[in-house]
Structure 1
Amino acid sequence: MTNGYGKKPEFDFEKINFDLIKKYIIPIAIILGIIIIGYSSIFTVKANQEATILRFGKYMETVGPGLQFKLPFGIDKVYAGEVKRIYNEEFGYRTLRSGRESVIDSDFRGAKEVSLMLTGDRNCAEVNWVVRYKIKNLKDFLFNVRNVKATIRDVSEAVMRKIVGDRSIDEVLTIGRRDIEEVAEGEIEDILDLYGCGIAVQVVNLKGVDPPGPVKDAFDAVNKAVQLREQIINEAEGKKNKIIPFAMGKKEQVISEAEGYKIKRINEATGDTKAFLAVWGEYEKAKDVTRRRLYLETMARVIPKCEEIFIIDKDQKGILPILNLGGSKVTK
C-alpha cells in the first residue's frame, strides 16, 4: 500500500494489534504511572529532622521523622531541617578543627572588629564567645526571617556589647563572666523570640576574655597578684581553721583539768576539816590524853625516817650537851 507520492505510509494502522495494546501495554503504562506518582509522593524524614510541606507555596503542615506523603508533580514542596542538632555561631574566633584538641583561629580578617569592646569604666577588652542554639519551630525558622544566621549574629553582638559596656574591666575579665553569660543568654533569646526566628538559645559561652595586646602583660601581672593574694588568704584561712579548733580543744581540756583539780582539792580540804574537827572534839574532851596520843602518833611516823637518834638526859648537869654531829665515835 502506497500513498499519493508513491511511498509507503509511516504507520500502517491496519496492522496494529489493538487487542495486544489493550491487554499488555495499557496496564504496564498504568503501573508505571502509579510507580512514578508514588515515588514522587513519598518522602522520608530523618530521625533528627522535621519537614514542612508547602502546597502551591502556601504552608500546610510540619511533619516529624518517618515515611511521609505529599502531592506529586511539584504541587507540594518539602523543606527539611535538623531540629535536634546544636548549631554554633562563633564571635571573634573560628574553629578550624574540632575534637579533643580543637584548633581555633582568632586572627582572621574581621575578628578584632567583632571582639574588641568598650567596658563601662572606659577600658577595652577582647571578648570571644559562642552562641549555641537549636531549631524549636521549623516553620518560623524557614519563613519568618530572611537570613536567620545573620540575624542571630547581629543580635548577639549588639547584646554582648551592651552587657560589656555596663560592667567594669575587672568584672569582664574575672568575677563577672558567669553573670555576663547568663544575662546574654536571656536577652538574646527574648529578642530572637520577638523577631519570630524559631530558635531556642541553649547556652552562651565566653571562650576568651583578654585585655588588648599592648596592655595584656600588665593585666596578667595584676591577675597573678590577685590570684596570689587569694592563695595566701586561703592558706591563712586553712591554718586558722586548723589551729583554732585545736586551741579550743586544748582550752576545754585545761578547763576540765582545772575543774577536776578544784573539786579534788575541795574534797580533800573538806575531808581534812572533818578529820581535824573530829580530833578537836576528842581533844576538848581529854586534852592531856589527846595531846600525848597525837605526839606519839607523830613520832611513830617521823622516827622511822631518821638515820640517827639522839636521846639527851634531861637530868644532865652540863650547860651545853655535846652531840656527835660529825659522825665520829665518842669514847666514854
Structure 2
Amino acid sequence: MAWNEPGNNDKDPWKNKGGKNQGPPDLDDLLKDIGNKFGGIFGGNKSGGGSGKSFSSIGVMVVLVAAIIVYIFAGFYTIKEAEKGIVLRFGQYAGMVEPGLSWKWTFVDRIIPVDMQTTRALPSSGFMLTRDENVVRVEMEIQYRVVDARNYIFSVTNADESLSESLDSALRYVIGHAKMDDILTSGREAVRQSVWQELEEIIEPYNLGLIIVDVNFKDARPPEEVKDAFDDAIAAQEDEVRFLREAEAYARGIEPRARGRVKRLEQEALAYKSQVLLDAEGAVARFNKLLPEYQAAPEVTRQRMYLATMENIYRNTSKVMVDVDGGNNMMYLPLDKIMQQQSGGQRVIQSPTPTINQNSTSNNNSAPALSGRTDRFNSGRD
C-alpha cells in the first residue's frame, strides 16, 4: 500500500519518519488544537456540542466585563496640589487639568504633570574674557519658576535647556562688556543686575512660560596662575577704601570739635569785651564819685589812694622787704607765716627775723620802728 493511500495510513514520511512522528504538524490540525484548548478553558467539550458553545459565550462575557472594569479603573489619576496637568488626546493638546482626582481615556489621552510652585535652580560657570582682555572664572546661579504650563511644554523642545543656554549667553555678554576690577570688587551687584536684565530680554520672544525669581552672583576669581597678583591688587584697593573711610571719620570727628572751639572763643571774646566795658564804666563811676572828695581834701584823698593801691599790690605777694626809718637794718616780713599764725589764733608777730644787717645794731631797735611803721600804715587805712 502506498504511503498516501486513504485510510489509517501510518506510513506518512513527514509524520512517522524513522518510526516516530517528527514532521511539522498540519495547519488545520494546529488551529483545531488551539480551539480545543480554549474551549476547555471556558467549559467547552468536543463531544458536548451546544453545551460547550454556551459555556464559551459566558466566559467571553466575563472577560469583557473584567476588561471594561480594569479599563475604567486604569483611567483614574491624581494631579498634586503644586502641579497642573496638560491633556494630550492622540498627541494633540486638549486642555488643562487642575489639581485633584480626575479620569482620562486610557490609550487615548496622555497627561503631563507640570510643577508650578517649586522654585528651581540653574547654575552657570566658566572662564570668560573681560573688556580689558583679562580671563576670569565666573559662577552664577538663577532661580526660576513655571508660570505657564502650556508654553513651558510646547513653546520650545526643552524649556530648561533653552533657559540654560540663554543664561550662558547673557552672562558672557555682560562679562565681555565689564572690566575685571569691577567684576572682582565693587561692580558685582551691577553685573548681577545686568545679567538678570539681559536674560529676561533674551527669553522674552520664546515664551518659555518661566519667570526669573532671583539671580545670585556666587563667585568670580582670576585664573590660578595670576591669583596672587590679583589678591594683592584687591587688598590694596580695600586698604584705599579703608583709609578713605578713616579719613572721613576723622574729619567728621574733628570738625565739630573745631566748630565748638571757635564758638567758645567767640563767647569768651564777647565775655571779655563785656567785662572790659563794665570795668571801664565802673572805673568812670568810681572816679566821678571820688572827684568831689578829692576837690574837698586833696592831700587826704591822695594818701588814701596810695594806701589802697599798695594794699592791692601787697595782697598778691607773701614777701615784703621793709626799710626801717632811722636805721640801717632791712627787715623781712614773712606774711604767709603771719597769715597762718593769725588763722591759728596766735600772735601776729612773735619775733622779727632780720635778713640783712648792715651794722651791729641790735634787733631791739628794729621792733619799735616796725611797730611804728605798721601803726602808721593802719592809721592811713583808717
TM class, shorter-length:
0.7 to 0.9
The aligned residue for residue 295 of structure 2 is: 287
The 8 Å contact of residues 323 and 330 in structure 2, kept in 1 or not, is answered as no
| Offset, 1:300 | 6.7
Find the residue that maps to 1:242 and give its secondary structure: helix
> How far apart are the structure 1 equivalents of 2:243 and 2:260?
26
The 8 Å contact of residues 324 and 330 in structure 1, kept in 2 or not, is answered as no
The aligned residue for residue 115 of structure 2 is: 82
| Offset, 1:198 | 1.0
The residue type paired with residue 76 of structure 1 is D
- The equivalent position to 1:276 in structure 2, one of 287, 292, 317, is 287
Residues 194-219 of structure 1, C-alpha deviations (whole Å, 9 max, x = no match)? 11111111222222111122211111
The aligned residue for residue 345 of structure 2 is: none
Residues 242-262 of structure 1, C-alpha deviations (whole Å, 9 max, x = no match)? 233233223322332332232
1:227/1:300 CA distance change after superposition, 3 Å: closer
Find the residue that maps to 1:326 and give its secondary structure: strand
Residue 150 (1) aligns with residue 161 (2) = yes
Aligned pairs (5 A) from 1:203-282: 203-280=214-291, 282=292
The aligned residue for residue 108 of structure 1 is: none
- The equivalent position to 1:199 in structure 2, one of 210, 213, 216, is 210
| Offset, 1:298 | 4.9
1:30/1:256 CA distance change after superposition, 3 Å: farther
Give identity over the alignment, percent. 23
1:10/1:164 CA distance change after superposition, 3 Å: farther
1:65/1:257 CA distance change after superposition, 3 Å: farther
> How far apart are the structure 2 equivalents of 1:132 and 1:33?
46
| Offset, 1:190 | 2.2
> How far apart are the structure 2 equivalents of 1:310 and 1:122?
99
- The equivalent position to 2:175 in structure 1, one of 164, 174, 180, is 164
Find the residue that maps to 2:105 and give its secondary structure: coil
The aligned residue for residue 47 of structure 2 is: 8
Aligned length in residues: 284
1:72/1:269 CA distance change after superposition, 3 Å: same
| Offset, 1:61 | 2.5
Structure 1 runs (4+) greater than 4 angstroms displaced: 13-16, 28-36, 300-311
Higher relative contact order (CA 8 A, sep 6+): 1
> How far apart are the structure 2 equivalents of 1:32 and 1:264?
120
The residue type paired with residue 121 of structure 2 is N
> How far apart are the structure 2 equivalents of 1:308 and 1:229?
69
1:76/1:70 CA distance change after superposition, 3 Å: farther
> How far apart are the structure 1 equivalents of 2:129 and 2:119?
30
The residue type paired with residue 97 of structure 2 is V
> How far apart are the structure 1 equivalents of 2:308 and 2:188?
90
> How far apart are the structure 2 equivalents of 1:10 and 1:267?
151
The residue type paired with residue 119 of structure 1 is T
Find the residue that maps to 2:165 and give its secondary structure: helix
- The equivalent position to 1:190 in structure 2, one of 180, 186, 201, is 201
The residue type paired with residue 9 of structure 1 is G
- The answer for unaligned runs of 5 or more in structure 1 is 1-5, 93-114, 312-320
Residue 326 (1) aligns with residue 334 (2) = no
**TM-score normalized with structure 1 length:** 0.73
Residues 122-141 of structure 1, C-alpha deviations (whole Å, 9 max, x = no match)? 11111121122111111111
- The answer for unaligned runs of 5 or more in structure 2 is 1-44, 332-362, 369-382
The aligned residue for residue 98 of structure 2 is: 64
The 8 Å contact of residues 143 and 213 in structure 2, kept in 1 or not, is answered as yes
> How far apart are the structure 2 equivalents of 1:121 and 1:14?
92
> How far apart are the structure 2 equivalents of 1:161 and 1:308?
99
The 8 Å contact of residues 70 and 76 in structure 1, kept in 2 or not, is answered as no
> How far apart are the structure 2 equivalents of 1:263 and 1:205?
69
The 8 Å contact of residues 118 and 164 in structure 1, kept in 2 or not, is answered as yes
> How far apart are the structure 2 equivalents of 1:202 and 1:223?
31
The residue type paired with residue 190 of structure 2 is D
> How far apart are the structure 1 equivalents of 2:95 and 2:279?
100
The aligned residue for residue 135 of structure 2 is: 124
The aligned residue for residue 101 of structure 1 is: none
| Offset, 1:185 | 0.9
